[in-house]
Amino acid sequence: GEDVEQSLFLSVREGDSSVINCTYTDSSSTYLYWYKQEPGAGLQLLTYIFSNMDMKQDQRLTVLLNKKDKHLSLRIADTQTGDSAIYFCADPISGGYNKLIFGAGTRLAVHP
């Protein structure tokens, strides 16, 4: 069945770049999403990428999409302590947007 996989933990030093990786199985999606969850809060849409794009840049965020390998990555430049959170990759299955399959989430820890 459809699946989204992410590594569970990432630790980086403040000011370095963070790269969070995701692989997915449903290739019919028009969009792929990155959500951020801060402690005790709901998920917040961070960014998304159209499936016909290879890259999208939004300020400190860069999303790379490799459709051949079904691989999605999120790069955060100049990582700050406020970036500490759980990051979820999400893939809408069956070509629609009503059923999002989420990865297990990558917990990003930023240390001085």
Partner 1 sequence: NAGVTQTPKFQVLKTGQSMTLQCAQDMNHEYMSWYRQDPGMGLRLIHYSVGAGITDQGEVPNGYNVSRSTTEDFPLRLLSAAPSQTSVYFCASRPPGGGDGYTFGSGTRLTVV
Dist CA 89 CA 73 (whole Å)? 9
Q: Is residue 31 a contact residue for partner 1 (CB under 8 A)?
A: yes
Q: Is residue 63 a contact residue for partner 1 (CB under 8 A)?
A: no
Q: Is residue 8 a contact residue for partner 1 (CB under 8 A)?
A: yes
Nearest-5° Cα angle at 20, 100 to 57: 85
Q: Is residue 61 a contact residue for partner 1 (CB under 8 A)?
A: no
Stretch of 12-20, 25-33, 59-67, 76-84 lying at the interface with partner 1 (CB under 8 A): 25-33
Nearer to partner 1, 8 or 77 (CB): 8
The gap from C-alpha 51 to its chain's centroid, in whole angstroms, comes to: 14
Q: Is residue 20 a contact residue for partner 1 (CB under 8 A)?
A: no
Q: Is residue 53 a contact residue for partner 1 (CB under 8 A)?
A: no
Q: Where on the chain is the footprint of partner 1 (CB under 8 A)?
A: 4, 8, 30-31, 33, 35, 40-45, 48, 88, 92, 97-100, 102-105
